[in-house]
Structure 1
Amino acid sequence: MIDRLHYISQSNAEIGHLEAIEQVLQAGGKWIQLRVKDQPENEVLSLAKAANDLCKKFASKLIINDFPRVTKAIEADGTHLGSNDINIVNARLIVGNNKIIGGTANTFADLQKRVEEGANYVGLGPYRFTSTKKNLSPILGLEGYKKIMDQVRNANINIPVIAIGGLTPEDLPELLKTGVYGLALSGILTNKNGTNLLIKQLYQELQNHPFPTS
């Protein structure tokens, strides 16, 4: 099952990926995406092994951004692929049929392609500009989500759509009205005070807005 609240790992001058992930796990996060850019695969593998141990300790899922071979090597729960990464069909050959594969989409056409390739969920965005999604365009905003999610419904597509890119908790109520399944957060959960309360509030908001099962 795809969780409705995703944490995309981030490091900065004060905190590394593993410490940031552990803080979110301790605060109640259940879905972690390890996103390490511009690093060689062997370094990502080392981080992924440690992150996987943390996620197992907290009974949470670990998704590796890109690097399907790392996903396979450490038996992570799945992999997430950006628009410039290996395609989902080829990644599936590496990780196997029992792993979760998510894909990024910026347009309805992107989303359709991800569905056709066999993605288990789609990260749609960005909602607003963010350095973690700076290569995606256009910025969708609320109106962009409304338009694309209307197209999703009209095409009878039922894949979970996760809103991504520069989101804040205040965006969630209106975004949920568009039909998205959940949201992904990064900087707002990284090394911040009050993360426990924020994650609890977000899960409560999601629970108050059940996602249709059919």
Structure 2
Amino acid sequence: MKMLQFITNPSDRYSLLEEAQMAIEGGCRWIQLRMKDATDDEVRQVALELIPLCKENDTFLIIDDRVELVNELKVSGVHLGKDDMDPLEARELLGPHAIIGVTANTAEDIIRFKGKDVDYVGLGPVHFTTTKKKLAPELGYEGVKSVMDSIRAAGVELPVVAIGGIKKEDIKPLKEAGVNGVAVSGSIIGAQNPVEYTAQLLQLLQK
């Protein structure tokens, strides 16, 4: 299991570009640009800074929610929340090669995506997190394991990326729960050395 997605989040310490640079320097090759309260123009401006950085480092760049911007800028793909565009509609617009990720909080959510041509599911929140508003109930390790067992029993083989307040110490139990990867934001940004912290996360994921 090697999937590590870094999600940008506004902070007092770094610009979003600096956050992505540090995650990439630490070995992460999958960045999600998330700017929930920003305008399309603001997102476009940051995306245009990130695109060359990601290209130089063979890094996937996906944008949260803004399907039209993803199509315009030709980045790697989009992450769709529960209230965003239907993934089938996004697939029609973005074509067969785009990465399309979706958000889920329950096994039922994920089972509904079976056969819907999505590439991965973000399952959470594992723990409480301050980086996301309108949080669903926390799952914890047992909740994640229960969801994973249910979806695999239902024949759903979609890659599942755990999300929500994830730190280094969560990697081992989440791997044991059966997830395929993790999406991390706050613990990388808040680390004393974000580059080193990212590298440590990847090391734990690859064990």
* Equivalent AA in structure 2 for residue 107 of structure 1: T
Question: Under a length normalisation based on structure 1, what TM-score does the superposition of the two structures give?
Answer: 0.91
* Equivalent AA in structure 1 for residue 47 of structure 2: A
**Matched positions, count:** 207
Structure 2 unaligned regions, length at least 5? none
Q: How far apart are the structure 2 equivalents of 1:69 and 1:42?
A: 12
Question: Under a length normalisation based on structure 2, what TM-score does the superposition of the two structures give?
Answer: 0.94
Pairwise CA RMSD: 1.6
1:139 alignment partner in structure 2: 138
The answer to whether the 8 A contact 1:80-1:102 is kept is yes
SS in 1 for 2:23: helix
| Displacement after TM superposition at 1:149 (Å) | 0.7
The answer to whether the 8 A contact 1:11-1:20 is kept is no
Q: How far apart are the structure 2 equivalents of 1:53 and 1:97?
A: 23
Is residue 2:204 matched to residue 1:196? Answer: no
Q: How far apart are the structure 2 equivalents of 1:170 and 1:207?
A: 14
2:181 alignment partner in structure 1: 182
2:116 alignment partner in structure 1: 117
The answer to whether the 8 A contact 1:7-1:184 is kept is yes
2:57 alignment partner in structure 1: 58
| Displacement after TM superposition at 1:3 (Å) | 5.7
| Displacement after TM superposition at 1:131 (Å) | 2.2
Counterpart mapping for 1:94-109 below 5 A: 94-109=93-108
Which deviations, in whole Å up to 9, do the C-alpha atoms of 1:121-168 show, x marking residues without a partner? 000000011122331312101111111011012112111100000111
C-alpha distance 52-115 of structure 1, shift in aligned 2 (>3 A):
farther
C-alpha distance 128-20 of structure 1, shift in aligned 2 (>3 A):
same
The answer to whether the 8 A contact 1:8-1:33 is kept is yes
Q: How far apart are the structure 2 equivalents of 1:14 and 1:112?
A: 39
